[in-house]
Amino acid sequence: MIPIRDTVRAQRFPIVNTLLIILNGLVFWFELSLEGRELEQFIFTFGLIPARFWTIEDTNAWAPVFTSMFIHGGWLHLISNMLALYIFGDNIEDRMGHARYLIFYLLGGVLAGLVHAWAYPASLTPTVGASGAIAAILGAYLILYPNARVITLVPFPLFFFFPILEIPALVYLGVWFFSQLLNGAFSLTGSTFQEGGVAWWAHIGGFLVGVILVKLFTAGRPQRRLGRYEYYPDEYYPW
């Protein structure tokens, strides 16, 4: 499922979210300027390597928990992450405020990285990407806007059929989280990630961080007054 947009419009310009997208793009542009061993050294220096992280003697092992969330492994990796950040991040910034949102994003990314390092303590594979921090945003979105709708492209390549559906955020994010949880559990049964792959547990950890911390970061903030054609997620929870 490929999200296109959601039905909740931000009331203020998401300056922090926009700057985060620009920063990720600039770092990726820098990556494109590197070649061969330079790029490899860059990834291994600033990417999160769990086995190195747990090495107490390596005093530089902690920095990649932060720096890794601004590095991406390719165009598809970057575009998919920035698309999700663009769609869901503006609403979370709108509710939290600029400063709180920045702290929430960075904290979500760091804690997601720590969960990944805990799940694969012996892995020598560098982990990069903003998906852990974005997963925290998705978790927060689930709590704040469960009744919103996500306009989604659902591809059926075998039938060359690509319908665009309006899916409740509760369903869209619930399916997304369940898929991460399923793949994460499967990855622990073998060497799936040790040989390179998706950091499922960073996604799971980030999402749960968002669910748990969102109320803390929105405490004291006014609730949204939505437009006529928007949904009213804050007042009507499904649970």
* 203-230: pLDDT as tens digits: 999 999 999 999 999 987 776 554 444 4
Q: What average pLDDT does the structure give for the chain?
A: 85
Cα 162 from chain centroid (whole Å): 25
Range of weakest confidence among 139-153, 193-207, 209-223: 193-207
Specify whether the CB–CB gap between 6 and 94 falls below 8 A. no
Per-residue three-class SS string for the chain: CEEEEECCCCCCCCHHHHHHHHHHHHHHHHHHCCCHHHHHHHHHHHCECHHHHCCCCCCCCCHHHHHHHHCCCCHHHHHHHHHHHHHHHHHHHHHHCHHHHHHHHHHHHHHHHHHHHHHCCCCCCCECCCHHHHHHHHHHHHHHCCCCEEEEECCECCCCECCEEEEEHHHHHHHHHHHHHHHHHHHCCCCCCCCCCCCHHHHHHHHHHHHHHHHHHCCCCCCCCCCCCCCCCCCCCCC
Predicted local distance difference test score (pLDDT) of residue 153: 85
Alpha carbons within 13 angstroms on the beta-carbon side of residue 182 total 6
Q: What percent of the chain has pLDDT over 90?
A: 56
pTM: 0.86
Phi first, then psi: give them for residue 21, nearest 5 degrees: -65, -45
* 92-126: pLDDT as tens digits: 999 999 999 999 999 999 999 999 999 888 888 89
Report the C-alpha gap between 106 and 88 in whole angstroms: 16
Beta bridge partners of 166: 151
Predicted local distance difference test score (pLDDT) of residue 157: 62
Neighbours of 225 (CB within 10 A): 9
Domains of the chain: 2-217 (1.20.1540.10)
Q: Could you tell me which of 122, 130, 119, 126 has the C-alpha nearest to residue 45?
A: 126
Given a cut of 80, whether residue 37 has pLDDT beyond it is yes
Give 235: exposed, middle or buried? Use CB within 10 Å, 0-12, 13-18, 19+.
Answer: exposed
Report the C-alpha gap between 138 and 128 in whole angstroms: 18
Range of weakest confidence among 28-32, 99-103, 129-133, 181-185: 181-185
Phi first, then psi: give them for residue 48, nearest 5 degrees: -85, 115
Predicted local distance difference test score (pLDDT) of residue 197: 66
